[in-house]
């Protein structure tokens, strides 16, 4: 029996495949976008889950829209970030990944066009492929999606959706500045096209002034948020912020998918957000991650070959690199793994023509001393003479 046509050609995520290999304890992995496990607030979550599970109502089925208190607390947090939000604007989802799947279910017909910045988050590409969409790349530069390129795609291909990670993007770490956000939101509005803003990293800023989410720039923006990077990804808690015209359909799609997100997990998150200073926790994460980012960036000149280029992210989790001389990062990966270090080759992040010389490094998972050791192992993989500059 063969799978449905729209699933043919959808590949497994190499990041998830790599996770198995990188779980070997001797491997220092820069591959997965994993938060630092030792920085999880274990005491806070233990308390929250103990309190939540003591209340029978939290072991019962719950409303599809989500826990009322959790929605109110998230609405408040979004409002403070510059996006005025009411509880009724939010649907709690099982990770923000589910919010993306729900959007593709309710908005896309097979064959519809989705415009994405290139390169982009590969699980979003999988999601669009499974929906049977035709994915069209929009050029991006150091400031993310290029408005002129988007304008061309809008006029030529009439996409139903535009998908972007405007803040500390996966995989590039790039951030769109204010003016560009406004231009892109205006373009979406003029062409009456939905703009999906996927924002799991927005609160993890290590330098520079915060830029308001795109959702504050126009009515055509569908915002995806997540507790994965500021709380813990194992919670699988995210949310969709959408206009009232879409909400009833999104709720029906969610009912058909899983009835609702885990009652107990939502209740624990509501308890946690009520009792904990999440801003202080995020500030602690930002301090630690800044140090890790700097450790990686400082090591790069002696790790990668001359003429390699890379991004300098102001936040988030990722550095995106390009090796010179038509190098192929997929071919180099077995050598890296035999040196007990891992990265993700860049090719799967491209919607159409991959650039095989690119790759992504995540700097949040490992403490600074392991980053230094991992970068040394990478330098051996690339035959970079680190020892000359670090006697």
Distance CA 343, CA 31 (A): 4
Which of 158, 198, 177 has its CA nearest to residue 33? 198
Least CB distance to ligand PMP at residue 22 (A): 15
Closest CB to ligand PMP among residues 200, 345: 200
Please tell me whether residue 295 binds ligand PMP under the rule CB under 6 A: no
Please tell me whether residue 238 binds ligand PMP under the rule CB under 6 A: yes
Residues 182-201: x where in contact with ligand PMP by CB under 6 A, - otherwise, as a string: ----------------x-x-
Closest CB to ligand PMP among residues 97, 176: 97
Least CB distance to ligand PMP at residue 180 (A): 18
Closest CB to ligand PMP among residues 70, 165: 165
Least CB distance to ligand PMP at residue 169 (A): 7
Least CB distance to ligand PMP at residue 265 (A): 13
For 55-58, the CB contacts below 8 A with 24+ separation are 55/267, 57/263, 57/267, 58/263, 58/264, 58/267, 58/268
Least CB distance to ligand PMP at residue 344 (A): 11
Q: How many residues does the chain have?
A: 391
Judged by CB under 6 A, the stretch of 93-101, 188-196, 202-210, 292-300 that binds ligand PMP is 93-101
Closest CB to ligand PMP among residues 126, 226: 226
Q: Are 158 and 190 in contact (CB under 8 A)?
A: no
Token digits of residue 352 = 């159409």
Please tell me whether residue 365 binds ligand PMP under the rule CB under 6 A: no
Closest CB to ligand PMP among residues 65, 198: 198
Please tell me whether residue 101 binds ligand PMP under the rule CB under 6 A: no
State residue 145 phi and psi, 5-degree precision: -55, 135
Instruction: Return the bridge partners of 310, or none.
Output: 321
Stated as kind and residue range, the H or E segment containing 358 is strand 358-362
Closest CB to ligand PMP among residues 296, 304: 296
Q: How many CB atoms lie within 10 A of CB 42?
A: 11
User: Could you say which residues in the range 151-180 bind ligand PMP, by CB under 6 A?
Assistant: 165, 170
Distance CA 78, CA 213 (A): 9
Judged by CB under 6 A, the stretch of 67-75, 92-100, 175-183, 343-351 that binds ligand PMP is 92-100
Stated as kind and residue range, the H or E segment containing 137 is strand 134-138
Token digits of residue 78 = 């979004």
Least CB distance to ligand PMP at residue 318 (A): 9
Least CB distance to ligand PMP at residue 103 (A): 12
Which residue's Cβ has the minimum distance to ligand PMP? 95
Stated as kind and residue range, the H or E segment containing 183 is helix 178-190
Residues 296-325: x where in contact with ligand PMP by CB under 6 A, - otherwise, as a string: ------------------------------
Distance CA 373, CA 103 (A): 42
What b/e readout covers 181-216, taking b as 16+ CB neighbours within 10 angstroms? bbbbbebbeebebbbbbbbbbbbbbbeeeebebbbb
Least CB distance to ligand PMP at residue 34 (A): 9
Please tell me whether residue 97 binds ligand PMP under the rule CB under 6 A: yes
What b/e readout covers 102-128, taking b as 16+ CB neighbours within 10 angstroms? bbbbbbbeeebbbbbbbbbbbebbbbb
Query: Considering only residues 22, 27, 29, 33, which one is a binding residue for ligand PMP as defined by CB under 6 A?
Result: 33
| Interacting residues with ligand PMP (CB under 6 A) | 33, 95-97, 121, 165, 170, 198, 200, 226, 228, 233, 238
């Amino acid at each position: 029996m063969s799978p449905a046509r729209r699933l043919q050609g959808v590949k497994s995520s190499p990041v998830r495949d790599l996770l198995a290999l990188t779980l070997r304890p001797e491997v220092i992995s820069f591959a997965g976008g994993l938060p630092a496990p030792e920085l999880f607030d274990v005491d806070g979550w233990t308390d929250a889950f103990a309190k939540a599970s003591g209340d029978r109502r939290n072991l019962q089925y719950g409303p599809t829209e989500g826990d009322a208190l959790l929605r109110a607390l998230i609405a408040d947090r979004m409002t403070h970030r510059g996006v005025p939000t009411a509880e009724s604007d939010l649907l709690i989802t099982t990770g923000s990944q589910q919010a993306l799947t729900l959007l593709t279910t309710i908005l896309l017909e097979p064959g519809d066009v989705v415009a994405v910045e290139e390169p982009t988050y590969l699980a979003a590409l999988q999601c669009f492929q499974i929906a049977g969409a035709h994915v069209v790349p929009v050029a991006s530069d150091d400031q993310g999606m290029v408005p002129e390129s988007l304008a061309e795609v809008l006029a030529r291909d009439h996409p139903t959706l535009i998908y972007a990670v405007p803040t500390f993007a996966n995989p590039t770490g790039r951030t769109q500045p204010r003016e560009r956000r406004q231009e892109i939101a205006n373009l979406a509005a003029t062409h009456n096209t939905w703009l999906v803003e996927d924002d799991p990293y927005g609160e993890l800023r290590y330098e520079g002034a915060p830029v308001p989410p795109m959702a504050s720039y126009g009515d055509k923006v569908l915002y995806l948020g997540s507790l994965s990077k500021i709380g813990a990804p194992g919670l699988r808690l995210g949310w969709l912020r959408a206009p009232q015209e879409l909400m009833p359909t999104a709720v029906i799609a969610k009912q058909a998918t899983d009835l609702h997100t885990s009652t107990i997990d939502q209740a624990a998150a509501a308890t946690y957000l009520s009792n904990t200073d999440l801003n202080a926790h995020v500030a602690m994460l930002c301090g630690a991650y800044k140090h890790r980012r700097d450790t990686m960036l400082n090591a790069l000149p002696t790790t990668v070959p001359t003429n390699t280029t890379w991004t300098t992210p102001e936040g988030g989790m990722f550095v995106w690199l390009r090796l010179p001389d038509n190098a192929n990062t997929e071919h180099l990966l077995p050598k890296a793994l035999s040196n007990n270090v891992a990265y993700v080759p860049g090719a799967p992040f491209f919607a159409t023509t991959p650039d095989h010389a690119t790759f992504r490094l995540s700097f949040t998972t490992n403490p600074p001393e392991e980053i230094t050791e991992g970068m040394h192992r990478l330098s051996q993989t690339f035959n970079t003479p680190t020892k000359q500059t670090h006697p």
